[in-house]
Amino acid sequence: MSQPRIGLLGLGAYAPARVMTNDEWAQYVDTTDAWITERTGIKRRHVAAPDETTVDLAAHAARGALSDAGLSAAEVDELIVTSDTPEVYTPDTASFLQVRLGLREVPAYDLAGSGCAGFLLGLDLARSRVRDDPARRILVVGVELITRLIDWSDRNVCVLFGDAAGAAVVGRGPRAAEILAATAGTDGSKSDILKLEVGGTRSPVTAERVAQRLHQRLEMNGREVFKEAVARMSAATRDVLQKAGFPVAALALLVPHQANLRILEAVRAELGLPEDRVVINLQEYGNTGSASVPLALWEARQQGRIRSGDLVALASFGAGFHWAAMLVRF
C-alpha cells in the first residue's frame, strides 16, 4: 500500500498589531507616501511592539499552523525556523521557540543567512525528512523582526520592510496540500548585491562601527537585485512546473516573495500570467523576509483564492544570492 502524499497539513501567520503608514516615515527620513508607493508599491507595514521579540511572532504563527492541522504541540517531531533576525546571537531561535510551544525534546534548529528564500528551503528540507520517516510531522516557521535591526535613517532601505511570521506543518496525510516538486539554487558570486557586512568574523561589531550604524547597514544594489530576482523566480517557477509535468497555464496561483511591486509585475509578465493569478499583498505588509511567502499563502487561502485541486507555485529569492520554488496541489 502506498503512503499518503507529503504536503502541507496546516498553515498559520501573524503580523504585529501596529501598522505604520508611508506618511509616518516622514518623521524619520526625507520621504513621502508618493515616493515610496511609486518605487515599491508598499503602502503600509506592521511593526513589532517594543516588548515583542522574534519568538513572540514565531509562536503566534506556529500555533495557528498547528491548530489548522488539528495537531497538538506534543505531536510535532521536528522544528525548523528560518530567520535572519534571531532572538539572540546564540543559541538559535528554534531553541527558545521549542520551549515556548511546549514541544518535546525533538530536533529544533535554524536555517539562517539565506534571507527571503529561507522558508521554501525549510519546506523542502522538511519534505525530505518526512520522505525518510513517513510518520514524521515537521513544523516550519519563517519569521523576521527586521524593523528593529535596520537603520531607520537610510530611506532607501528602511521603508521596504515589515515584521511578520508564517508557518506550515509538513507531513503525510490524505488531505495534505501535496508538494509535487521543488527546486533551489545559489550564485555566491553575487553575494555582494544584498548584504549586511558588519557582525561576522570578517567585520566584527565595534564601538566605532556601531557609532556609524554599520551594524544596521543593509546594502543593496537595487538594479542587480531586480534583474536576478525576476530571472531566478521566473526560471524556478518554470522548473517546478516542468518537473511535475504541467504548463504555466495550469497554475491557479503564483505566490511570490513580496519584495517590490515592480519585481512582481515583471515576473508575472515573464511567465505570461494574468493579474488575478499572482498573489500580491506587499502593499499591506512590505517585505517580511522569510515570512513573506507563508504569510501571502495563508492570506490567499483565508480570502478563498485557493480551492481544492488548485496548483499553486511558491517562489522566492534572497541574499546569497539564493532562490527557490515549490509546486503545491491543494
Active-site option among 46, 60, 215, 257: 257
DSSP string for residues in 265-322: HHHHHHHT--GGGB---HHHH-B-GGGHHHHHHHHHHHTT---TT-EEEEEEEETTTE
My answer on whether omega of the bond before 226 falls inside 30° of 0, hence cis, is no
Cβ(11)–Cβ(294) below 8 Å: yes
Q: What is the residue whose three cell numbers read 506550515? A: 168
Q: How far apart are the first and last CA of the chain?
A: 22
Rounded to whole angstroms, the Cα distance separating 252 from 273 reads: 10
Please confirm, yes or no, whether 60 is among the known catalytic residues.
Answer: no
Distance CA 160, CA 145 (A): 13
What whole-number distance in Å separates Cα of residue 75 and Cα of residue 50? 32
Q: Which of 116, 158, 215, 260 is catalytic?
A: 116
Distance CA 260, CA 246 (A): 27
Residue 185's φ and ψ, nearest 5 degrees, are -165, 170
Concerning whether 116 is annotated as a catalytic residue, the answer is yes
158 is catalytic: no
- Cα 101 to Cα 9, 61, 65, 105, 109: the distances in Å are 18, 11, 12, 12, 14
Which residue do the cell numbers 519584495 mark? 259
| Biggest CA-to-CA distance, the chain | 64
8 Å CB contact between 82 and 119: yes
Set 22, 60, 287, 322: catalytic member: 287
- The Cα–Cα gap between 177 and 189 comes to 35
- Active site residues per annotation: 116, 257, 287
